[in-house]
Amino acid sequence: MRLKDKVALVTGGGRGIGRQIALTLAQEGADIVIWDVNLQEAEKACVDIQALGRKTLSAQVDVTDYVKVEEAINKILDKFTKVDILINNAGITRDNLLLRMSQQDWDAVLGVNLKGTFNCIRAASRVMIKQRSGKIVSIASIIGIIGNPGQANYSASKAGIIALTKTAAKELASRGINVNAIAPGFIQTDMTAKLSEGVREKMLAAIPLARMGSPADVASACLFLASQEADYITGQTIVVDGGMVMV
Ligand code: NDP
């Protein structure tokens, strides 16, 4: 029970990696708040978490909307009085080659992935500063480190998260807040199910550990960074990719 009596907020926690992170943190004793644009999925995830004996709160929150984010943080305080852990997981893709990428697709991806992460860090860190403690973990991507054809918007947003993590870590360290990121590689979720068979085969061939990652692989790293075991780690990005990228 590494997170006993902690309150953890997971954005985009209704499905995929976020849902698994929420379950993993709950298994270690944390009460869980799930924000998602899809309230039904968030509520379903909460039912599974309650079965573990943990308290939950779900809300329909689009992380791009700062006013909504602040309101939702206040609702967490009403119910739980604190926010110990923030996991910035909500993310989208709108892939296209640079020359064909529309302004809308650029703005949408930067909006959810980067501005959404900024909004949640800003709102949650206000609470954490008063508490003089907190753990923030943002889900970036190896694509934010190495780039990828067809993902100008996504790669820029994820590189932005890595840089934002470093700045937030430096600004918040003196208040007892650790800020880190995880850069997953090729993880089996709805997001990667959209990829063609050719792309999947090519990616698999580039993974030394010779398998796609699972949401549980990402959740384990997240649990570590959210726990006391990572008290002396801040501003870092942990790569969870089966060895695809070795820097
Ligand atoms: P999914 O698409 O399966 O899940 C993303 C979740 O975020 C969904 O529940 C989605 O809601 C929610 N969401 C989308 N937009 C918003 C928003 N504006 N506000 C709040 N919630 C939102 O993605 P994954 O689980 O695969 O990915 C999770 C994170 O991991 C993302 O940041 C992704 O970029 C990152 N990642 C994933 C990798 C992979 O291989 N899968 C690799 C590297 C990084 P809805 O159900 O309504 O769409």
What's the CA gap between 223 and 85, in Å, rounded? 10
Query: Which CATH class name applies to 7-240?
Result: alpha beta
So what's the pLDDT on residue 191? 85
Q: Which residue has the tokens 């943990």?
A: 54
Of the listed 80, 106, 118, 154, which one is catalytic? Answer: 154
CA 219 to chain centre: 10
Output the CA 77–ligand 1 centroid distance in Å. 25
Q: What is the DSSP letter of 151?
A: B
pLDDT in tens, the chain (247 residues): 999 999 999 999 999 999 999 999 999 999 999 999 999 999 999 999 999 999 999 999 999 999 999 999 999 999 999 999 999 999 999 999 999 999 999 999 999 999 999 999 999 999 999 999 999 999 999 999 999 999 999 999 999 999 999 999 999 999 999 999 999 999 999 888 988 999 899 999 999 999 999 999 999 999 999 999 999 999 999 999 999 999 8
Q: Which pLDDT score, from 0 to 100, does residue 36 have?
A: 98
186 CB within 6 A, ligand 1? yes
Phi-psi region of 32 (alpha: psi -120 to 50; beta: other; left: phi over 0): beta
At residue 130, the pLDDT reads 98
pLDDT at 33: 99
What is the pLDDT at residue 247?
A: 84
Per-domain residue ranges of the chain? 7-240
Residue with CA nearest ligand 1 atom 17: 62
Please report, to the nearest 10 degrees, the dihedral formed by the alpha carbons of residues 211, 213, 216, 222 taken in order. 140
